[in-house]
Chains A and B, each alone.
Chain A
Amino acid sequence: MKLGSGPLIELRRLHRYFGQTQAVQDVSFEVAAGQVMGYIGPNGAGKTTSMRILATLDVPTKGDAFVDGFSVVNDPDRARARLGFMPDYFGTYANVNVWEYLDFFARAYGLRGKTRLAALDYVMRFTGLDELAEKPMRGLSKGMKQRLCLGRAMIHDPPVLVLDEPAAGLDPRARIQLREMIRQLAAQGKAVLISSHILTELAEMCDVVAIIERGRLLAVGSVEEMVRRQVRQQRRVSVQVLGEIAPVNAWLSSRPEIRQVHANGNTATFVHDGTVEAEADLLAAMIDAGFRVAAFGSVAATLEEVFMQVTEGRVQ
């Protein structure tokens, strides 16, 4: 399979309406080879709908989506051959074990003979399922099922992976393992689109993040860029003092450029609307006011903070 020269995933002015509900409105973004894009938004924001369109399970009302340059509407068969989809549910078959399940999907993707056996062997080892080959599917834990789901999505070695909430319900160890697997897949040159509610995890594994709410794309960019943009607008500052924190708290709260003051032990954190110079002036003013400042500095903004700032928390 020869890949095209453009982005591996492209959503172009995608719209999807269900009656009066506008589930996805004018969403456009691209994911290049080797990139991991986090797709985040509150429940009902339109993430799953757009992922289902990309996976050729639904048709857009307007716009189009492309997998390696092939339209998911007009060339779904070519798009499917290049795409592995892991939905937020797990389709099971009765009386089938792990190996038979993967073998079935390998055959369904047209893998035959030694190629199929090699693919099965690789995927079983990659996902750590090789020891569970004979285990019936019904008896698998949530983490094992998620691995099996990932194995199924990558059995035909697609250049594009679309993973809808792959970390949901996983224990911390399984999450770390999943994160490692996704990083490895990206390192192999695959484009990965991943949705999750666990933003700290996404921040660690994603190169790019797209934030969607009420069907509209609110922001797209790298995690660093988004955080930098957030920091440019407002800075979260932490100050540690020797002695009582209550007077510091009261003093900070009285200043107009300071908001959201929280005290914990002998440390106070607050949001400061201003530049680095203004922050230095603030430190000088605190010392002048007689506070014994032990530590003073900006706290790095997180993806969660960016998300909270960008979204309004409304669902359709």
Chain B
Amino acid sequence: MSAWEPASEALTRPEEVGLSKETSSPFAAGRAAAASWLERLEAYLTSWGERLNPILVKEARQALKSRRFISTFGLVLLFACAWSYLGVAWMGDRIHFGAAGSVMFYGYYWILAFPLLVVVPFGAFQSLAGERHDGSHELLSITTLKPHQLVTGKLASALLEMLVYLSAVTPCLGFTYLLRGIDFPTILLVLVYTIHASLGLSLTGLLLATVSIERHWQMVLSVLLVIGLLAAFAGALSLTGMVVLEVGLPWHEEEFIPVNLAVLTLFWGSFALSFAATAAQLTFAADNRSTALRVAMLANHALFLGWMAYAWHLSPDLFLFIPLLTLGYGYWAALGMFLVAEGPDMSHRVRRGLPQTLLGRALFTWLMPGPGTGYMFVLANLMVLGALSLLGVFVTRSISTRPTMGMVDWQDLAHFGCLGFLYLAIYLGLGLWLIGLARRRFAVPLPVGVLLQAVLLILACLVPLVPYLLYETGPLRYSMTQLANPFWTLAAVLDRDIPTHDLISLYIGLTLAAALVFFLNLPRVAYEVMRVQVAKPRRVVEEEVAERPPPALPAAPSSPWEGEGVARVE
């Protein structure tokens, strides 16, 4: 108990609020009841407010006094009013007979989308970047708030700001519905997507704010973010314009709802991954930053496979496997570069949480931090993706009677899947091995490790290309000298530009290289897998016992006569 802790630690409760005793006028009872009701409400709100995220409370207080919020809110109101008058005046008599709602809605959407898609996400970026630069984030990071609470608080305050702007425009949106020309579900869907986009962009802003605390890098990132936000704003305007003013939404289509569900679930999957990445960036160096990320990656992968399976169920076409494999391999290539660049050391704190049982170690070791386990984690996911794709290709070939949407053959897809897997195993494995070598002499932080792999890939693509470009005069055609270039090789496989004997050589070469790289990395992987759980320090055990004392045992009888049915003589 702290020095200033009062005897009762209970939060303010409505029961603690006394009722007014005023009884002198005939209306006194009614006033007292109203006052009591208001006081109870206030007490409930106070009690509820105590449970709010502290960041949300602080940012809401700040926003109410900030010039940025007040001016943006004022401008939203002003523009909404101006558009209401101008729009109605411009429509003239047509407003009574025509369907003016869609045009008016589009005008209001311009006014709403700018704060939601540009101002709010940029504010989230600025807020965290500024705090990290001036050191106030450090002061916050040593409180008992967890990194995920920090990110949640920032997102909640962004959401609150969005809702305030939305509330300013909501009456206008209701007005557009009354004017006809736009239906309620369309308005709702556009708003739902815009709020999702705003949340996603705000999280992107927060993630970018964690990249650097140096002012010059923050300036570069803010310029990039503003460009991205303006592009998103322009994209949202054109998409909404197309939906509202031109084509409308295909509600009657059978796939409309599943497609929207797919988009939203994939959005939330990516959101969870970005959230985990942002929280990991803010997490203490000795803590486990990786497991939550790997779980999010796995969940995204499962979602993606699930929706692709649904798409295949609707239309079993071989063409589907091109986006499935390309996006899947691209996803694991990008994330794999980060995973194999993770730091090799594991703190005692993380080792306390290592799985102990045989089954636990077999299943969950790959979710624990470390570049070796990361490499194996990516390979396992790639194998699942490749195997399911191959299975899908064979099944499609056997059941589908329809012509394919593209000129894709099942053999091309099988080669694409197998060679793509081998390339990823080679490049990620090489990256892991090279970073391990570099770490024997220098400290290689994660961004440098990722950069090293990117440079390796670029060199592998460019170096064989330069002599080819210098000495070949005819049109560009794939040759085996470009073996190290995965992009061109895989494109050539799909285009059937590789003769069969070269394809066999390609398989042999890549398989040998992948096996060699795998065996080179095996000691690293084995070292990480063989780590065992360490015991908690004595002080931690003492503290845990003090926090959660073992349940009291029933009082044992102090004498043989103290059993049941024996009357005790006092």
- Compute how far the CA of A74 lies from the CA of B54 in the bound complex, rounded to whole angstroms: 26
A104 touches B144 (CB 8 A): no
Q: Decide: B62 and A94 in contact? CB cutoff 8 A.
A: yes
Complex Cα distance, B348 from A285, in Å, reads 68
Closest to B144 in A: A110
Is the pair B284, A70 in contact by a Cβ cutoff of 8 Å?
no
Residues of B within 8 A of A4 (CB): 539, 542
> Which of A69, A85, A90, A115 neighbours the largest number of chain B CB atoms within 10 Å of its CB?
A115
Chain A contacts for B64, CB-based, 8 A? 95
Q: Which of A69, A73, A95, A156 has the most CB of B within 10 A?
A: A95
- Check if A96 is an interface residue, CB within 8 A of chain B: yes
| Known contacts A113-B12, A157-B2, A157-B3; is-contact A74 B136 (Cβ 8 Å) | no
Task: Return the chain A residue nearest B16 by Cβ.
Answer: A114
Q: A109 CB to closest chain B CB, in angstroms?
A: 5
Chain A contact surface mostly: loop
- Bound Cα distance from A87 to B287, whole angstroms: 23
Do B66 and A95 touch (CB < 8 A)?
A: yes
**Are A115 and B9 in contact, CB atoms less than 8 angstroms apart?**
yes
A59 at the A/B interface (Cβ < 8 Å)? yes
A114 touches B65 (CB 8 A): no
Report if B397 contacts A (CB, 8 A). Answer: no
Contact partner, A100, options B6, B61, B537, B543, Cβ 8 Å? B61
Nearest CB of chain B from residue A30's CB, rounded to whole Å: 15
Interface size range on A against B: 35 or more
Q: Which residues of B contact A269 (CB under 8 A)?
A: none
Q: Please, which residue of chain B has its CB at the minimum distance from the CB of A100?
A: B61
The smallest C-beta distance from B375 to any residue of chain A, in angstroms, reads: 25
Q: How far is the CA of A202 from the CA of B325 in the complex (A)?
A: 68
Q: How many residues of B contact A (CB 8 A)?
A: 48
Task: Give residues 49-64 of B contacting A (CB, 8 Å).
Answer: 50-51, 54, 57-58, 61-62, 64
Residue of A69, A73, A77, A119 near B2 (CB, 8 A) is A119
Task: Report yes or no: B134 in contact with A91, Cβ–Cβ below 8 A.
Answer: yes
Contact with B along A135-165 (1 / 0, CB 8 A): 0000000000000000010001100000000
- In the assembled complex, A167 has its CB within 8 A of some CB on chain B: no
Is residue B189 contacting chain A, with contact meaning CB distance below 8 A?
Answer: no
Specify the chain A residue showing the minimal Cβ separation from B349.
A74
CB distance from A2 to the nearest CB of B (A): 5
Contact indicator per residue, chain B 59-75, by CB within 8 Å of chain A (1) or not (0): 00110111000000000
Contact A188 B142 (CB under 8 A): no
**Contacts between chains A and B (CB distance < 8 A), count:** 133
Residues on A with C-beta less than 8 A from B65 are 95
Which residues in chain A, 239-259, are within 8 Å of chain B measured between CB atoms?
A: none
Those of B523-556 within 8 Å (CB) of chain A: 537, 539-540, 542-543, 546
The minimal Cβ–Cβ distance linking B287 to chain A, given in whole angstroms, is 7
CB distance B138 to A188 under 8 Å?
no
Check if B251 is an interface residue, CB within 8 A of chain A.
no
Q: How far is the CA of A105 from the CA of B57 in the complex (A)?
A: 11
Q: What is the minimal beta-carbon distance from B354 to any residue of chain A, in angstroms?
A: 14
A114/B62 in contact, CB under 8 A: no
Compute how far the CA of A75 lies from the CA of B47 in the bound complex, rounded to whole angstroms: 31
CB proximity to A under 8 Å, residues B171-220: none
Q: Are B66 and A94 in contact (CB under 8 A)?
A: yes
Instruction: Please indicate the chain B residues that have their CB under 8 angstroms from the CB of A260 in the complex.
Output: none
Cβ-neighbour of A113 out of B11, B141, B287, B347 (below 8 A) = B11
B39 interfacial contact with A, CB 8 Å: no
A57-B138, A91-B138 known; A80 and B4 CB under 8 Å?
no
The residues of A with any CB-CB pair to B shorter than 8 Å are 1-2, 4, 55-57, 59, 68-71, 73-78, 80-81, 83, 85, 87, 89-96, 100, 104-105, 107-110, 112-116, 118-119, 121-122, 152, 156-157, 188
- Residue contacts A-B, CB under 8 angstroms, 15 given: A1-B2, A59-B285, A75-B537, A91-B134, A91-B135, A93-B136, A95-B64, A95-B66, A104-B54, A112-B11, A113-B12, A113-B47, A152-B139, A156-B2, A157-B5
Q: When A and B form their complex, which 5 residue pairs have the shortest distance between CB atoms, in order from nearest?
A: A91-B136, A107-B54, A113-B11, A157-B2, A69-B539
Task: Given contacts A71-B537, A118-B4, list 14 more A-B pairs with CB under 8 A.
Answer: A4-B539, A55-B142, A69-B537, A74-B349, A75-B349, A80-B144, A89-B134, A91-B131, A94-B62, A95-B64, A104-B54, A115-B4, A115-B6, A157-B5
